[in-house]
Amino acid sequence: MEWIRPDSPDYDEARKLFNAMIDRKPAVIAKCSDPGDVAEALSYAHNHNLDVAVRSGGHSVAGMSTNDDGLVIDVRPMKSISVDREMKTATVGAGLTWGEFDRATQQYGLAVTGGRASTTGVSGFTLGGGSGWLERSYGFACDNLLSVDLVTASGERVTASPGENPELFWALHGGGGNFGVATSLTFKLHDLGPTVMAGLMLFPGQDATDLSRAFRGLALEAPDAVGTALVYLTAPPEEFVPEEMVGKLAVGMAYIYAGDVETGEEHAKPFKELGPSVDLVSPMAYADFQCMIDDPPDHYNYWSADYHNELNDDALDLLVDSAQRLPGPHSQQLVARWGGAVGGPAAANTPLQHRGAAWVSHPFGLSETREGGQEAIAWVKQFRQDIAPYTTGGVWLNFIGDEGQDRIMAAYGEKNYRRLSLVKREFDPDNVFRGNQNILPAQH
């Protein structure tokens, strides 16, 4: 156990999150290497009446992995991973990132739905559900859980699986860090890679309206093995981007095929026939594709998201209009295609509502300055207001900031929220773990 306090030389580095918008100063950070350290840290917080936050990757855009004047349980030292090639399973420590996970499992040509940014923590991502490029083939990350080891608020070590604490196991399929500190997770894996047909395409922004309609049709027709998204962005000053596009609105398409390269190449053809100015879709290492849209560090971030059963022309026009007003060169407007295994049989076994949605809109407001961050917040909120008539009311909590209890209820629905609150009452009756998208313990 390593205790880091405000007078420690590495305090500022240890408390830093990916989102520069969040600048909080905990009283102490407990860097935990095993479940015993976690139990000790929880006992310390209880004895000193300190609020508790739990950190793995630190990618909570709302800053829920830290606090002011409280205790942060930092599980990043728990970076173990054990891959069973024959059983196609992986058991990982709670501090692992998806980049580390993918590099390890890809040595055996195995994968599971992981984060779209390689620096995202495996545990927080998965417990919140886990939406990624492979979800149409393999479901969310949580759908592939076999078991989770936790330390509860009382310091007890428990395992959640289909045969042990099954209600808790159900709650961990999207209920987040409300029920304990995850220390180990075991996943079932799938045959994939190490080489896949994947990459990004880039088109001029002046064609955004026509491209949006064309993408909608192609994405709806694509098989479940195709993971794809439409991204409106400012073309970056990279050497592969034509000079005349740099600094202007561009339309990006992300593509991956969860299968053999030859078939993936065939299914990529309709997208390529749209005539991208930049075409990086080719046979490549899956683990490299997973790093292609990593978040730039030290930016001020504000995100949100909504679900859509369909995106008609009016909704697409709103997306394009919003993209034409991106607040700064690092902001993006993303639309991901859901369907396939997202709404398949596994959906009924999680607390997450509205998994049958066909699309998710996901505005990313980013800026290099705090003032620009305020512009990003206003841009995201305006878009959500404009697109509201075309949404289902559902939301993916990992995609949003702190937007209040109504949005939490929208993610689960009344029935599932009640069931989650009963699990919360059993494992965390005093709501020690409230630094999250919080589920309140049921009242007797």
pLDDT at 24: 96
Query: Is residue 363 within 8 Å of residue 383, measured between CB atoms?
Result: yes
Distance, CA of 182 to CA of 436 (rounded, Å): 14
**What residue has token string 């009242």?**
443
pLDDT at 306: 95
Query: Is residue 90 within 8 Å of residue 104, measured between CB atoms?
Result: yes
Positive or negative torsion for Cα 292, 294, 297, 301? positive
pLDDT at 409: 93
pLDDT at 62: 84
Distance, CA of 160 to CA of 426 (rounded, Å): 13
In the chain, what's the furthest Cα-to-Cα distance?
Answer: 65
pLDDT at 315: 98
- Displacement of CA 285 from its chain's centroid (Å): 21
pLDDT at 296: 77
DSSP for residue 15: H
pLDDT at 262: 98
Cis amide linkage into residue 194, ω under 30° from 0: yes
Half-sphere exposure of 220 (CA within 13 A, CB side): 13
pLDDT at 397: 87
Distance, CA of 1 to CA of 33 (rounded, Å): 6
The beta-strand segments (E) located in 114-248 are 145-151, 157-160, 181-188, 190-191, 195-204, 226-234
Q: Which amino acid is at 65?
A: S
pLDDT at 402: 84
pLDDT at 58: 86
Query: Is residue 131 within 8 Å of residue 361, measured between CB atoms?
Result: no
Distance, CA of 315 to CA of 292 (rounded, Å): 28
The per-residue pLDDT string of the chain (444 residues; one tens digit each, 9 = 90 and over) reads: 999 999 999 999 999 999 999 999 999 999 999 999 999 999 999 999 999 999 998 888 888 999 999 999 999 999 999 999 999 999 999 999 999 999 999 999 999 999 998 999 999 999 999 999 999 999 999 999 999 999 999 999 999 999 999 999 999 999 999 999 999 999 999 999 999 999 999 999 999 999 999 999 999 999 999 999 999 999 999 999 999 999 999 999 999 999 999 999 999 999 999 999 999 999 999 999 999 888 777 899 999 999 999 999 999 999 999 999 999 999 999 999 999 999 999 999 999 999 999 999 999 999 999 999 999 999 999 999 999 999 999 888 888 878 889 999 999 999 999 999 999 999 999 999 999 999 999 996
